[in-house]
Structure 1
Amino acid sequence: MEYIQPRPSSIVAGLYTVRDLGVDLAILHGPSGCSFKHARLLEEDGLRVLTTSLGDNEFIFGGQDVLERVLRYAEKEFSPKRIAVVGTCVSMIIGEDMEAAIEDSGISTPAIAVEIHAGFRENIDGVIAALEPAARAGWIDEDELERQKKLLAAANLVERQRGAAYKPYVQPSRGDLKHLFAKRLLELANSGKKGIAIMNAKKETAYMFADALIALREVCPECDIRYVANLEDRGLPKVRKDAENIREGLLESGVEVEYAGSLDEYGANGERLGEIIKATKPDFALISGVPHAIPPEYLEGIEVFSITNGPRQVEPLKEFGHDHVVVEVDLHPKTLGVKEIVRSESGDVMRSMK
């Protein structure tokens, strides 16, 4: 047995990845309800999502004609720059040849087929299923493909070691009360203790996780705090643009931030951030985003304040030595489609205590 709790879908992971590759129209080749919630969310982020709405008839006789028809409709009606056809359980089980459908449809828009379904235990399979045809199409080079695979493996390992997949079932939790979290954090900062504030966030979630650094700087402008964020300029097109937007937002807010890692390196960034913590020798650390990426040995003797967006991340963080943990509820929907830093509840609670 691997897990007995729901895990992220590889189909949805494929959808998010084609968005990061600059695809502006995706076609889900399956029933109309497949991945409905995430498809709607992604439309807020500039990715138009269509479906072939396969039903009983197509389950028996196949849906290639339907897919070809939707491809032609998509090109005519929306004039996309790039199209991705994303598989589902149905299309894979009935053996649909999505690449043949793209070719036979006669469209001229660059398009790839993402051969994926939900029968994978790890959602990174959906990411790889999108990246490999993108590399064959020349949308990314082989070096970037191999880099992405290494990052995915590192992120997966962190989830298994110290994340929401560290045991078969993790009880969801909303974490500590934010006003108590903020009160203790500010007590330490204002008492002259040395601190470090780190953002190690996954992709667009950084639009909100960055606000914790801004709020701490606003409330404690003269405190001895070192600010670090994973905002280096690497990754797929959208990831790099998001990092640029957040760097500009931090600069405008007056926070002097050191950059360590990129927004897609959150899972592989732990040792680097750990060494920065070790060199800083802080009394306390604020870590927002993916705090569990940092190995616990780097946090020994430090009072740790962590901000996550995963209710199933609270338990493992506490178990691995994070003293205070809060959850930003509904963070992901609030950071889709945005182009500038979004205020967080944790940050606003800090501001209320100024």
Structure 2
Amino acid sequence: MADGRLQTERDGTALRLRLTGDWTLAHASTLLPRLAGLATAGLAGRHVAEGGERKAVLDTDALTRLDTAGAILLVRLHRQLADQGFEIDWPQARREHRALFDYVAGSGDAITVWPQTGSGLLGIVEYLGWQTLFFVREARRFIAFIGQVTETAVLIAVRPGRMRFTSMVHHMEETGLKAIPIVGLLSFLIGMVMAYQGASQLQKFGAEIFVVDLIGISVLRELGVLLTAILIAGRSGSAFTAQIGTMKVNEEIAAMRTLGLDPVVVLVLPRLFALTLTLPVLTFFADLMGLCGGALMAWNTLGIDPVLFFNRLNEVIVPRTFVIGMVKAPVFASLIALVGCYEGLRVKRDAESVGRLTTRSVVQSIFLVILFDALFSILFNILKV
């Protein structure tokens, strides 16, 4: 069993930190002063002052053993270097060491290792390949999170007394009731825009009456639910990430686990169920406001009075058109809530990651909503509905 050691040296323009021996609990007492000395002596700072780039390389070729205590020390070393502005590279990390580091750091992307790629076309291909692997890894983690939430939801269904109904009602108010004004206003305006643009084109062919068909099908089948989901992703999905992420920074989630509380039960399921219940209601309201906005613009530009508009709408719109839009709402709501909570739980213990992952949650939510909307369109086309 070799003593754990940490050596620093200059490697070209980078600072190389060589980790050797056993980084285990038995050697933590000797490694702690070394880490403290690295911070107080400012070895990294002197390296930068001498003109080197802010790059640090973790050399773990000679690292024989790593346990949880050693991983904690390694996380501390990483944070010390990050606080000094270093770009950290861990080029030859063993899989088991990296997995333990990620677990202790509390985030799967504590260190994102991008290998050096070549230049030109080959470099682009290599970069795309590594980005694809990164995407696959993130997708696997998100799917695992969905599985964890599903398992917990099934257990809650067996024992409903564990469900936080007060929290769920609170989130229904935040995500549903307080979102009605913005959803209604934007849906009304979108309906007006659709009617105006459709009227300007259909008038050329003397087919003004078909603007009713255009508004009815587009709003009820696609725009109502899609616009509502995108608004809620930006409004509520980001709020989920920011709220849970702030709790992670303040170590409130760690306190929950210490008290024996499951964060999925306390934080995720109330938000998931609340949004799944409220988004269909918001979609129905958005459909009504979109149709009203279209009817008003059709009356103003084409002289189609509201009675004629809604009579025509009743003739051309079958219940199936409305149902297709409403079926999408719970799926979109689940995606938005799951992404928001997932990214919130991945926040590290710093404020910067809260903003970064909040932005990522909005982008991913909107991407998944549009992706699943396209998949629904393909499915409905195959089913001839």
Higher strand proportion: 1
Higher relative contact order (CA 8 A, sep 6+): 1
Q: TM-score range by the shorter chain?
A: under 0.3
What's the TM-score once normalised by structure 2's chain length? 0.24
Higher helix proportion: 2
Bigger Rg over Cα = 2
